[in-house]
Every structure is written in structure tokens, then in C-alpha cells.
Amino acid sequence: MSLQLRARVPERDVELDLAVAAGQTLALIGPNGAGKSTVLALVAGTLRTPRGRVELEGRVLAGERSWTPPHHRRVTTLSQDPVLFPHLTARGNVMFPLRSQGMPRARARAEAERWLTELGLQELAERRPAMLSGGQAQRVAIARALAADPRLLLLDEPMAALDIDVASALREQLRRFLTDRTAIIVTHDVLDALTLADRLAVLEEGRVIEQGPTRELLTRPRTSFTARFAGLNLVTGRWEDGAVVLADGARLPAPGPHPAGRRVHAAFRPSAVRPASQGGIRRTVTGLFPHGDLVRVRTEDLAADLPPQEIAELRLEPGAAVHLAVSGDAVTTYEA
Ligand SMILES: Nc1ncnc2c1ncn2[C@@H]1O[C@H](COP(=O)(O)OP(=O)(O)OP(=O)(O)O)[C@@H](O)[C@H]1O
């Protein structure tokens, strides 16, 4: 393992045990206040706790008797808001960490040029941050972060402030750069997790509630937060004769088989859920939300994506009862 973190921060009710293998990217996801920023702060060294241990590439950065200050950790943070030096040009910003590491000026300049070119910024090398767009400034920040050759890169929602097209281009560039680097990314975006992260850790109330390979977790989620992040419905029940029987007795026909009576999860997309004239799963509508050219109908625990015409015909509105059916071949089942 390249990074190992084991820490308790009692004043935040956070207790974590996380590891990232060398060359891998771990995505941290979870609701507000789950502890994601706390992890980044512990690793970057901006938060110190007596009950914590952080090891990077076999070196103890924080332990009972040792402490490496943030600027000696070779850990670089890239946040949503690129913090560039306003008085330096784009090139000057990228050169800065290299010069601080003692690199001679001419070599630092050549290195900076190389990274600016990698990120398609060669034309903007002379510009100061005030003359750059948000996306350009973020690319300069990435060039600066990568030029410093960190042992670990911490990405704190790096695309959150950018518009969709810019974010998508930048995500692709980050994907290339992260291929063999060790990194942690905090994100609320499933695309970031899918394209950038080898593994996913789900945090809730200061604890890791689920972790594993990204694709595995996003196709077979085990918690409602992960399912929602993956855009899936998740229900749990007992397996009986080709169906998952939910707590309220509703039957969800699904592919198996599983041992009779075994507790199983069933995951399926909201687009696989249809209104049923009768029978099916009876639920109450809790909210309606625009979703592309469809409307996402939310109930207590299930979501269905339906055309607006159908919403009107069925008079679906918050508080209305609805019967739902799920096409069995769209359901994935796995043991709980
Ligand atoms: N400076 C602080 N002092 C004390 N408690 C804090 C501080 N910062 C955060 N906390 C608490 O620590 C817990 C974890 O917060 P943290 O900021 O790590 O969550 P997060 O997952 O990053 O949330 P968000 O998605 O809102 O950024 C929360 O209960 C929060 O209230």
C-alpha cells in the first residue's frame, strides 16, 4: 500500500481506516459532513490528531511520536477553486513549486513549458490568472500540481466549478495523468468516480460504510447512498421462487437463482420501472423532478423515470398512490 490512514478525530466523531495502493486512485463519496474533507486534511497535514497514523510510501507522516509538516509531505491538493498566485504568469505559477524544491531557473522553466504544453496551455504561458477563464485557471493549477511530482495527489471536487464541456475535457486529461499516480479524489459526480477512480470508499457519519472496486460498487451497491450515487434503485428482501419478496410482501420478479429464504439485494435503473395498472409494488409519490426529457418520480424508496404525458394521465403528484412494476431482465440480484 502506498498510503495508509488510520485515524480517530473524536471532536468530529470521525473514525477511519483507509488505504490506497501505489498508482491507484481512490474516490471518496458520501453526504455532507461524512468526513471526506477530514480525510484530505489528515493526509495533507492541515489537521493533526493524537489518535492517528498516516503512512505514505512507507514513511510515517503522522504518528504517535512523529509529524511531517504539510510542506514536506510531497502531497499536493487540487481544489475546486484553483488558488493561483495572482502576480505570477501561468508559467510562473507552474515554475513556483519547482523553484521551491531548488530546481535551477532554466530547468524549471523548461519543465513548466512541458506541462503547460501537455495541458494545451502553451499559448497562455504569459497570462496572469486574472486573464484566464475558470477552466484555463484549473488547467494551470493541474499543470502546477503535476509538475511538482507529488507522491500523492489530493483532488477536492476539481471539476465542480466548471461547465459541463470544460469539465468533460478536463476529466479526460486527468484520466490520462492519474493512470499511474497515487491519488484521492473527493467527488459528488458519478462520472468522476467511474472515469478516474480504481476504488471507491463510501463515507457516512465519519465511518467507511462500503468500499471496493469502483465498477463493482456502482453496479452492485449495498447502501442506499451508493445506489443513489450510481443512479440505481436498491431494495432488499428474501428470495422466493424467482422473486425478491420485500418487507411489505410485494414481489419483484428477478433473475436468480438464490437459496430460498436468503436475503438478497436487487438493483435496477429508474428507467426499468413502469406504472402498473394494478398489483405490482404499491408506493406513494414523494416528489417529481425533471430528468432530461423525462420526469423522475420519487417514492418512499423507489424512483421511476416516466414521460411527462404519463405523469399527467396518471395524475401523479406528491401524495398520490402509484403501482409500479419492474422489468425482471433489468434487475441485478446479489446476496445481501
Ligand atoms: N473545523 C471543524 N471543527 C470541528 N468539526 C468539524 C470541522 N470541520 C468539519 N467538522 C465536522 O466533522 C465532520 C466531518 O466533516 P467533513 O467536513 O470532513 O465532511 P465532508 O464529507 O467533507 O462534508 P462536505 O461534503 O459537506 O464537504 C462533520 O460532523 C463536521 O461537522
- Segment 8-48, tens digit of pLDDT: 999 999 999 999 999 999 999 999 999 999 999 999 999 99
Closest protein CA for atom 16 of ligand 1 = 35
* Domain definitions of the chain by residue range: 3-219, 232-335
pTM above 0.80, yes or no: yes
Where do we find the cell 428507467?
A: 271
Query: How many angstroms separate the alpha carbon of residue 242 from the centre of ligand 1?
Result: 44
Write out the three cell numbers for 23: 498508482
User: Of 41, 34, 28, 32, nearest to 198 (Cα)?
Assistant: 28
**Residue in 5, 8, 12 to alter for ligand 1 test, most ligand atoms within 8 A of Cβ:** 12
Query: How many angstroms separate the alpha carbon of residue 13 from the centre of ligand 1?
Result: 9
In one-letter notation, the amino acid at residue 98 is: L
Question: How does residue 328 score in pLDDT terms, banded at 50, 70 and 90?
Answer: confident
> Cα(227)–Cα(190) distance, rounded to whole angstroms?
11
Query: How many angstroms separate the alpha carbon of residue 330 from the centre of ligand 1?
Result: 38
> Cα(112)–Cα(244) distance, rounded to whole angstroms?
58
Question: How does residue 165 score in pLDDT terms, banded at 50, 70 and 90?
Answer: confident
Query: How many angstroms separate the alpha carbon of residue 4 from the centre of ligand 1?
Result: 21
- Segment 244-297, tens digit of pLDDT: 999 999 999 999 899 999 999 999 999 999 999 777 899 999 999 999 999 999
The answer to ipTM > 0.90 is yes
Q: Which ligand 1 atom is at minimum distance from the Cα of 205? A: 29
Q: What's 189's DSSP letter? A: -
SS3 annotation, 258-323 = CCCCCEEEEEECHHHEEECCCCCEEEEEEEEEEECCEEEEEECCCEEEECHHHHHHCCCCCCCEEE
Query: How many angstroms separate the alpha carbon of residue 40 from the centre of ligand 1?
Result: 11
- Pocket of ligand 1, beta carbon within 6 A: 11-12, 14, 30, 32-38, 206
Q: Which ligand 1 atom is at minimum distance from the Cα of 31? A: 25
- Enter the CATH code of domain 3-219: 3.40.50.300
- Segment 116-137, tens digit of pLDDT: 999 999 999 999 999 999 889 9
Q: Which ligand 1 atom is at minimum distance from the Cα of 9? A: 12
- CATH T-level topology, domain 232-335: OB fold (Dihydrolipoamide Acetyltransferase, E2P) (2.40.50)
Residue 294 near residue 305 (C-beta atoms within 8 A):
yes
239, pLDDT greater than 80: yes
